[in-house]
């Protein structure tokens, strides 16, 4: 039977999704709707359409015209705009939750209150506010403070005491600014530990974890500099991370299973898509930082190339609610993703090398590494970067050190005003993570 699949999204994460779809033994035809043309996705697609993620009519029209059987929605923006709802009205089911269920990512307060109401462990101390009333008193109760807007911020809106502000008065100023922009602010106790991403597949009833990954948000090696969308990530051949205990992954999965059950009880709707928990292992166990309603970017590039199960079958099972009948398997390999970014990426004006933001890059021999296109424009005379992350370079091998070496030597073959984090996936960085966790657990 002919199968037509619609992919929505234009980043490196969606390039990895496109590749997983194209690998399917069902030989589906891929149709892609993108905000900007991603040459990697376009090369795997039968047909593409370029348009905004808020243009629900254009997306539905494209889906109807292409006789789409199901859609995979990559980024948070179309989920937040209700693309899954619009496609459902057009008779097209999606891997990706409806707008109501995507609140798991788009409203931090919805998720915190869901965990609280259904007595699911993992919440830190928190309170939400829609005015400055009571904020001062709550700040006084906390040893360390985290302030978050209650909305989508591209992973960059979280303000942490010690990093983004120091004193209580500055915290009040941050809250005031966030209240003006977003209307609601969420204040949490600051936690200490190591972060891991657990991307789970969910059909509404069954939740299946994929191998955990560690992302690196800071712009520079040694976790210095401003937060970014993610500079790279690593995952290990044994499907755990060297600083985790086996029970940490079990706890993250158990929290996610209970959240899937709770969100159904709360809304009467089955969540179909990815529930990506950003967790932190702390001295007092696994805590939830946030959920995302999609695959991680870069984390999708760690897990999708290792998927042994047919991705199109998996999507079908998510849509039909039959994930319990599928054996989801991943190759026992390590993967290291390093993002190539323009030198000026993520830096404030005075440090930004703005010339790098629209420069040409040359990609030489990348050996065994895989390349996933992100914000790049293919013109007649070559590949140009735009304002954001340009290319995801992924090394895959039996051991982490080898995967890191493959990624790092591929990075050296990419010429232009580019930058990357050389420390991601290195033995030295992993040792630091292990030591950090030992220090925290030993206290
Ligand atoms: N890796 C962070 C994110 O996808 O939001």
Q: What is the 3-state secondary structure (H, E, C) of the chain?
A: CCCEEEEECCCHHHHHHHHHHHCCCCCCEEEEEECCCCHHHHHHCCEEEECCCCCHHHHHHHHHHCCCCEEEECCHHHHHCCHHHHHHHCCCCEECCCCCCCHHHHCHHHHHHHHHHCCCCCCCCEEEECCCCCHHHHHHHCCCEEEEECCCCCCCCCEEECCCECCHHHHHHHHHHHHHHHCCEEEEECCCCEEEEEEEEECCCCEEECCCEEECCEEECCCEEEECCCCEEEECCCCCCCCCCHHHHHHHHHHHHHHHHHHHHHHCCCCCEEEEEEEEEECCEEEEEEEECCCCCCCHHHHHHHECCCHHHHHHHHHHCCHHHCCCCECCCEEEEEEEEECCCCCCHHHCCHHHHHCEEEECCCCCCEEEECCEEEECCEEEECCCCCEEEEEEECCHHHHHHHHHHHHHCEECCEECCCCCCCHHHHHHHHHHHHHHHHC
What pLDDT score does 261 carry?
98
Work out the widest C-alpha separation in the chain, in whole angstroms. 64
Q: Could you tell me if 273 and 356 lie in one domain?
A: no
> For residue 231, is it within any domain?
yes
User: Which residues, at least 6 apart from 81, have a Cβ–Cβ distance to it below 8 Å?
Assistant: 53, 54, 56, 99
Q: Could you tell me if 62 and 144 lie in one domain?
A: no
Question: Which candidate, 132, 113, 106, places its Cα nearest to that of 185?
Answer: 132
For residue 137, how far is its CA from the centre of ligand 1 (angstroms)?
32
> What are 15-67's pLDDT values in tens digits?
999 999 999 999 999 999 999 999 999 999 999 999 999 999 999 999 999 99
Ligand 1 atom with minimal separation from the 13 CA: 4
Query: Average per-residue pLDDT in the chain?
Result: 95
For residue 134, how far is its CA from the centre of ligand 1 (angstroms)?
32
For ligand 1, whether the C-beta of 203 sits within 6 Å is: no
Q: Is the pLDDT of residue 158 over 70?
A: yes
For ligand 1, whether the C-beta of 292 sits within 6 Å is: yes
For residue 65, how far is its CA from the centre of ligand 1 (angstroms)?
32
> For residue 229, is it within any domain?
yes
pTM, entire model: 0.96
What pLDDT score does 200 carry?
98
For ligand 1, whether the C-beta of 296 sits within 6 Å is: yes
Q: Give the whole-angstrom CA distance, residue 381 versus residue 401.
A: 36
Q: Could you tell me if 132 and 160 lie in one domain?
A: yes
Nearest CA to ligand 1 atom 3: 296
- The CATH code of the domain that includes 172 is 3.30.1490.20
Q: Could you tell me if 198 and 320 lie in one domain?
A: yes
Ligand 1 atom with minimal separation from the 233 CA: 1
For ligand 1, whether the C-beta of 76 sits within 6 Å is: no
* Residue 133 exposure: Cα atoms within 13 Å on the Cβ side: 2
For ligand 1, whether the C-beta of 392 sits within 6 Å is: no
Nearest CA to ligand 1 atom 4: 296
For ligand 1, whether the C-beta of 230 sits within 6 Å is: yes
> What are 66-111's pLDDT values in tens digits?
999 999 999 999 999 999 999 999 999 999 999 999 999 999 999 9
For ligand 1, whether the C-beta of 297 sits within 6 Å is: yes
- The CATH code of the domain that includes 341 is 3.90.600.10
Percent of the chain with pLDDT over 70: 97
What pLDDT score does 443 carry?
77
Q: Could you tell me if 202 and 166 lie in one domain?
A: no
Q: Is the pLDDT of residue 429 over 70?
A: yes
- Domain span at 171: 125-189
| Exposed / middle / buried, residue 169 (Cβ in 10 Å: 0-12, 13-18, 19+) | exposed
> For residue 367, is it within any domain?
yes
What pLDDT score does 156 carry?
66
Q: For a ligand 1 pocket test, name from 75, 297, 424 the mutation site with the most ligand atoms within 8 angstroms of its C-beta.
A: 297
Q: Give the whole-angstrom CA distance, residue 130 versus residue 137.
A: 15
For residue 155, how far is its CA from the centre of ligand 1 (angstroms)?
7
Q: Could you tell me if 288 and 315 lie in one domain?
A: yes
What pLDDT score does 172 carry?
94
Q: Could you tell me if 304 and 352 lie in one domain?
A: no
Q: Could you tell me if 146 and 205 lie in one domain?
A: no
What pLDDT score does 266 carry?
97
Confidence of residue 350 (pLDDT cuts 50, 70, 90): low
Q: Could you tell me if 321 and 338 lie in one domain?
A: no
Do the beta carbons of residue 334 and residue 237 sit within 8 Å?
yes
Q: Is the pLDDT of residue 352 over 70?
A: no
Q: Could you tell me if 232 and 174 lie in one domain?
A: no
Confidence of residue 152 (pLDDT cuts 50, 70, 90): confident
Q: Give the whole-angstrom CA distance, residue 319 versus residue 313.
A: 10
Structure tokens at 305: 């190339």
Q: Is the pLDDT of residue 354 over 80?
A: no
For ligand 1, whether the C-beta of 97 sits within 6 Å is: no
What pLDDT score does 154 carry?
67
Q: For a ligand 1 pocket test, name from 294, 299, 374 the mutation site with the most ligand atoms within 8 angstroms of its C-beta.
A: 299
> What are 274-330's pLDDT values in tens digits?
999 999 999 999 999 999 999 999 999 999 999 999 999 999 999 999 999 999 999
Q: Give the whole-angstrom CA distance, residue 33 versus residue 159.
A: 34
> What are 238-266's pLDDT values in tens digits?
999 999 999 999 999 999 999 999 999 99
For residue 215, how far is its CA from the centre of ligand 1 (angstroms)?
8
For residue 297, how far is its CA from the centre of ligand 1 (angstroms)?
5
Q: Could you tell me if 321 and 345 lie in one domain?
A: no
For ligand 1, whether the C-beta of 155 sits within 6 Å is: yes
Q: Give the whole-angstrom CA distance, residue 323 versus residue 205.
A: 8
Q: Could you tell me if 299 and 203 lie in one domain?
A: yes
Structure tokens at 296: 């991680």
Q: Give the residue, 123 or 157, on which the prediction is more confident.
A: 123
Q: Is the pLDDT of residue 355 over 80?
A: no
* Count of structural domains, the chain: 4
> For residue 258, is it within any domain?
yes
> What are 194-235's pLDDT values in tens digits?
999 999 999 999 999 999 999 999 999 999 999 899 999 999
Q: Give the residue, 377 or 422, on which the prediction is more confident.
A: 422
Confidence of residue 351 (pLDDT cuts 50, 70, 90): low
């Amino acid at each position: 039977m002919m199968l037509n699949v619609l992919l929505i999204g234009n980043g490196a994460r969606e390039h990895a999704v496109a590749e997983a779809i194209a690998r399917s033994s069902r030989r589906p035809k891929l149709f892609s709707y993108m905000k900007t043309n991603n040459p990697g996705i376009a090369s795997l697609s039968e047909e593409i359409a370029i348009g905004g993620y808020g243009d629900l009519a254009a997306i539905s029209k494209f889906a109807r015209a292409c006789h789409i059987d199901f859609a995979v929605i990559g980024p948070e923006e179309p989920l937040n705009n209700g693309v899954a709802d619009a496609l459902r009205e057009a008779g097209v089911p999606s891997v990706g939750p409806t707008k109501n269920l995507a609140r798991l990512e788009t409203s931090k307060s919805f998720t915190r209150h869901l965990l609280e109401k259904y007595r699911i462990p993992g919440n830190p101390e928190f309170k939400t506010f829609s005015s400055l009333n009571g904020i001062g008193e709550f700040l006084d109760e906390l040893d360390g403070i985290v302030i978050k807007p209650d909305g989508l911020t591209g992973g960059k809106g979280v303000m942490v005491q010690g990093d983004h502000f120091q004193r209580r008065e500055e915290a009040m100023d941050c809250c005031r600014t966030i209240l003006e922009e977003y209307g609601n602010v969420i204040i949490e106790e600051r936690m200490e530990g190591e972060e891991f991403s657990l991307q789970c597949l969910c059909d509404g009833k069954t939740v299946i974890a994929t191998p955990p990954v560690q992302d690196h948000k800071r712009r520079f090696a040694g976790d210095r500099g401003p937060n970014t969308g993610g500079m790279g990530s690593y995952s290990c051949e044994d499907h755990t991370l060297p600083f985790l205990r086996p029970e940490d992954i079990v706890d993250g999965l158990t929290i996610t299973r209970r959240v899937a059950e709770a969100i159904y009880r709360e809304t009467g709707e089955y969540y179909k898509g990815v529930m990506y928990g950003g967790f932190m292992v702390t001295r007092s166990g696994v805590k939830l930082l946030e959920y995302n309603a999609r695959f991680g970017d870069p984390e999708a590039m760690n897990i999708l190339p290792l998927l042994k199960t047919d991705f199109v079958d998996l999507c079908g099972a998510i849509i039909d609610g039959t994930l319990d009948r599928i054996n989801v398997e991943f190759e026992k390999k390590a993967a290291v993703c390093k993002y190539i970014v323009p030198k000026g990426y993520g830096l404030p004006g005075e440090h930004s090398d703005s010339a790098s933001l629209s420069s040409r890059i040359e990609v030489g021999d990348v050996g065994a590494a895989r390349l996933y296109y992100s914000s790049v424009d293919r013109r007649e005379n070559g590949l140009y970067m735009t304002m954001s992350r340009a290319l995801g370079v992924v090394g895959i091998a039996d051991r982490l050190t080898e995967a890191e070496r493959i990624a790092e030597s591929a990075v050296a073959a990419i010429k232009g005003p580019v930058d990357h984090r050389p420390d991601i996936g290195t033995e030295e960085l992993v040792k630091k993570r292990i030591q950090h966790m030992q220090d925290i657990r030993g206290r």
